[in-house]
A and B are shown apart, each in its own frame.
Chain A
């Protein structure tokens, strides 16, 4: 009995042990170098250490710039650089360059996301939150990418007369978007603007934790189906709050509310002859999928008056397409009542319009107007763009 229990116990222990056993990656060890190793094994990491051991150009006597090698008070090495400059119309470009590692083509590609150019910097006097100087990497094809110093990457987040360590992450040059070939870098240049004086020391490439946080681009809002009601819930402009004396106002006497258009070209509000509605809260709306078989529709009540109807885009040319509402867009339903539709395909240049960035529908009163605009909407339109009346009739019960 004792033996049986012992055996059972051992089996249990063995089974439990198996279940909790870890897979040991005997052959899958991550042998890729750490960022520190990658930089420490990079042969060309020192850009400027001192006059003897580094190459520099742009330090000769110049009317707008003076570059001195200072042997006192250096942060490291035997000396450091002092640059004083004053830009003028006669000397627009002021800079110094470092074709480090004896002009060889430097491959910084593998370091782009994990390393930075580090240097020590101080002002001669005073404090500042910015210094008008830029860093540029230049490849052997002559292409360049620039970056300025981000204050968050400066020790103590200020510049003053104390040496402060600063970094320019290699990724801040955004090489890809600027066409710079990071695999064949010729030199680093520092360009100076306006006026200033700085001390620089110990320029080198070091491992750097990139604080890269990118918010995702706002996704494009897409209109996939119609109808879209252009009602009071949308954002409108050109509508006056005081209904009594206004040219355009909402009437709440019916549900749903409708727009009262009351325009007198000689009256007090003669300039209030236009109004518009944002399709997507003033962000752009992609109408690519639906625009070609659609129309703006509405019902008019009152005295017939021509209206200008336009659709606006957030970018591209033409920025707007427009048409003038005529009798051909409308079907008379009753005395002083019209049902109207403006097919998009009837609007000139609708093919060139940037439908991916549609933003607004705008209405302009072209002469004296006394009319009510009901049921404004953007709808599907399955008819001939020139035969609107027929399509409107087909919709009648």
Chain B
């Protein structure tokens, strides 16, 4: 009798232990839906994604109010630790080779090899405490023709659900259209969240998400100012980049009016890019300059994430004129012509230091954020006077060029702007 009682007690204890240790455990990250819409919960608490595509400057990112970073692949997985050390979460990318880089999704061996590799990556990182969700592929839909790529996305999403109940899955599209939404919806039912990289197209993103029939939550996985691929061009094909101050204002408006306004379906966003990269120019997408200085874009993101501005504001270049004509115009000049660049800057009452540089125009035709090489500067003498006005002499050699100006304050916060021009012997 005594022995029976003991056995029962042991069983009861075992059951309780199992329940508390495993069965009753809440997944780390979940999606919940109520009448007001979708919410992302992390450890049971609402976790609106206030994120950035970031590989450095984590301290400033955290103090600016961000709570998450996006990594495009597991190649820099050490950054999971950096994020975790600051209490930030990570959207971790599983890099599926896009068709445009030569991957053939009809090649069974290549596809299976890629899946085998990525499944091991899932097993390796699934228990990392910083992990928020998986990003399966980035822009695999860009210029693609073979819809079998969605089978790989689904295979990985299914695998993740089998081995990792703690984190949702997503795939990231290069903008949306009805066809892409249909493909993900029907071919990838194991994808929980749609990631969308949207630059100019962010303006209608909440509407199009609904019109095209997506009925799960979404994340804006890359956003910022209109990309070089959407920019107006000069007659000789150079892209016109808005000045830094204009870009920062655009970022803030897009966050407040579009991302934060769609709380029903949008789980948050990752701004692009908390760092610097060469994409047509060295300053297009980066919130930092190539030497590491933060720009007014960083201030705008702090305002977006926290509702407040930083104590010391970065200067912001609002307009740029070459020989009296604005940055939106085409500028054609004579060989060795004297040039005058007039800058309108909001300096927030601080003194700014100006630097200028001249570069040949980029001829890169790469797309989808594929890596572009930085260009070599052309040694040029610039004279900066009150106004501020920058004077310099155009190159003697005909061709397409781009002049950059940069204004930095005493705390090394900077704004930059640039303007393309053509040196032509044909100019009257």
Residues of A within 8 A of B (CB): 129-130, 132, 150-153, 157-158, 172, 174, 194, 211-218, 235, 237-238, 271-272, 274-276, 278, 282-283, 314-315, 359-360
Complex CA gap A211/B110 in Å reads 10
**Known contacts A194-B75, A215-B108, A218-B147, then 12 further A-B pairs from the complex at CB < 8 Å, ordered by chain A residue:** A129-B116, A152-B109, A212-B109, A213-B107, A214-B104, A214-B106, A214-B107, A237-B212, A274-B211, A282-B182, A314-B179, A360-B178
Whether a CB of chain A sits under 8 angstroms from the CB of B81 is: no
CA–CA, A283 and B144, complex, Å: 12
Separation of A283 and B182 alpha carbons in the complex (Å): 10
Residue on A nearest B104 in the bound complex, by CB: A214
* 20 sample A-B contacts, Cβ–Cβ < 8 Å, listed by A number: A129-B118, A150-B109, A150-B114, A152-B113, A157-B116, A212-B109, A216-B106, A217-B146, A235-B182, A237-B178, A237-B211, A238-B211, A271-B204, A272-B207, A272-B211, A282-B178, A314-B145, A314-B179, A360-B178, A360-B179
CB of B100 to closest CB in A, whole Å: 12
| Contact among B106, B120, B183 for A217, CB-based, below 8 A | B106
Interchain CB contact under 8 A, B117 and A130: yes
Q: A129-B124, A282-B178 are in contact. Are A213 and B108 (CB under 8 A)?
A: yes
B182 adjacent to A150 (CB under 8 Å): no
Question: Residues of B contacting A217 with CB < 8 Å?
Answer: 106, 146
The complex places the Cα of A218 from the Cα of B118 at a distance, in Å, of: 26
Q: Which B169-186 residues have a C-beta within 8 angstroms of A?
A: 178-179, 181-183
The reply to whether A278 and B182 form a contact with Cβ atoms under 8 Å apart is yes
Select from chain B the residue with minimum beta-carbon distance to A283. Answer: B147
With known contacts A129-B121, A360-B179, A215–B116 Cβ distance under 8 A: no
Q: Which residue on A lies nearest to B213, using beta carbons?
A: A237
Q: Does B148 reach chain A (CB closer than 8 Å)?
A: yes
A153/B211 in contact, CB under 8 A: no
Q: Say yes or no: A213-B148 contact (C-beta < 8 A), given A129-B121, A132-B75, A157-B116.
A: no
> Would you call A158 and B146 a contact (CB within 8 A)?
no
Partner of A282, one of B75, B146, B183: B183
Decide if B109 touches A278 in the complex (CB within 8 Å): no
A351→B132 CA distance, assembly (Å): 49
- Nearest 3 A/B pairs, CB to CB: A129-B120, A150-B113, A213-B108
A153 in contact with B113 given A217-B106, A282-B178 (CB within 8 Å): yes
Main secondary structure, interface of B, reads helix
Question: Is A214's CB under 8 angstroms from B147's CB?
Answer: no
Nearest chain A residue, comparing its CB with the CB of B116: A151
**Minimum CB–CB distance for A123 against chain B, Å:** 14
- Name the one of B75, B108, B182 contacting A214, with C-beta atoms under 8 angstroms: B108
Residues in chain A near residue B121, CB distance under 8 A = 129-130
Interface bin, chain B: 20 to 34
Which among A153, A216, A238 has the highest number of chain B CB atoms within 10 Å? A238
CA distance A216 to B148 in the complex (A): 11
Contact mask for chain B residues 103-139; partner A; CB cutoff 8 A; 1 contact, 0 none:
0101111101110111011001000000000000000
| Cα of A217 to Cα of B295 in the assembled complex, Å | 48
Q: Which residue of A lies closest to B181 (CB)?
A: A237
Q: Which residue of A lies closest to B76 (CB)?
A: A194
Q: In the assembled complex, which residues on chain A have CB atoms less than 8 Å from the CB atom of B109? A: 150, 152, 211-213
Separation in Å of the A137 CB from the closest CB of chain B?
Answer: 15
Rounded to whole angstroms, the CA-CA distance of A217 and B147 in the bound complex is: 10
CB-based contact B178/A278 at 8 Å: yes
Shortest CB–CB separation between residue B66 and chain A, in angstroms? 25
Chain B residues whose C-beta falls within 8 Å of the C-beta of A212 in the assembled complex:
107, 109
**Which chain B positions have C-beta within 8 A of A274?**
211
Question: B212 — which chain A residues lie within 8 A by C-beta?
Answer: 237-238
A272 to chain B, nearest CB (A): 7
Of A174, A194, A215, A315, the contact of B145 (CB 8 Å cutoff): A315
When C-beta atoms are compared, the residue in chain A nearest to B211 turns out to be A238
B178 in contact with A151 (CB, 8 Å) = no
Residue of chain B at shortest CB distance from A177? B102
| B211–A151 CB distance below 8 A | no
B182 — which chain A residues lie within 8 A by C-beta? Answer: 235, 237, 278, 282
Contact check, B207 vs A271: say whether CB atoms are below 8 A apart: yes
User: A129-B121, A130-B117 known; A276 and B110 CB under 8 Å?
Assistant: no
Complex: chain A residue closest to B106, CB-CB? A215
* A172–B103 alpha-carbon span in the complex (Å): 11
Residues of B within 8 A of A150 (CB): 109-110, 113-114
Residues on B with C-beta less than 8 A from A215 are 106, 108, 148
- The residues of B that contact A360 with a CB separation of less than 8 Å are 178-179
| Nearest CB in chain B: distance from A297 CB, A | 22
Interface residues of B in 387-418 (CB under 8 A from A): none
Q: Closest Cβ of chain B: how far from A289's Cβ, in Å?
A: 21
Q: Chain B contacts of A157 at CB under 8 A?
A: 116
Contact, CB under 8 Å: B113 / A282: no
Provide the residues of chain B in CB contact with A152, threshold 8 Å: 109, 112-113, 116
Q: Given A132-B75, A282-B179, are A218 and B146 neighbors across the interface (CB < 8 Å)?
A: yes
Least Cβ–Cβ distance between A353 and chain B, in angstroms: 17
Tell me the bound Cα distance from A130 to B121 in angstroms: 9
A151 touches which of B75, B113, B207 (Cβ 8 Å): B113
**Among the listed A271, A276, A315, which residue makes an inter-chain contact with B178, where contact means beta carbons less than 8 Å apart?**
A276
A112 to chain B, nearest CB (A): 15
Q: Which residue of B lies closest to A314 (CB)?
A: B179
A-contacting residues, B76-95, CB 8 Å: none
A-chain residues with CB within 8 Å of residue B117 when the two chains form the complex:
129-130, 151
Residue of chain A at shortest CB distance from B374: A89
* CA A359 to CA B179, docked complex, whole Å: 9
A157–B212 CA distance with the chains assembled, in angstroms? 41
Q: B104: which A residues are within 8 A, CB to CB?
A: 214
Most buried by A among B121, B124, B145, B181: B145
Q: How far is the CA of A235 from the CA of B182 in the complex (A)?
A: 9
Chain A positions within 8 Å of B148 at CB level: 215, 218
Q: How far is the CB of B153 from chain A (nearest CB, A)?
A: 16
Report B187 CB to chain A, min CB distance, Å: 10
Contacts of B213 in A (CB 8 A): 237
- B147 proximity list for chain A (CB < 8 A): 218, 283
A212 to B107, CA, bound (A): 7
Q: Looking across the interface, which residue of chain A has its beta carbon closest to that of B182?
A: A282
Nearest CB of chain B from residue A331's CB, rounded to whole Å: 31
| Best-surrounded residue of B118, B147, B148, B179 (most CB of chain A within 10 A) | B179
The residue of chain A having its C-beta at the shortest distance from the C-beta of B373 within the complex is: A92
- The distance in angstroms between the C-alpha atoms of A228 and B391, with both chains bound, is 65
Please measure, in the bound complex, the distance between the C-alpha atom of A215 and the C-alpha atom of B112, giving whole angstroms: 13
A283 to B178, CA, bound (A): 11
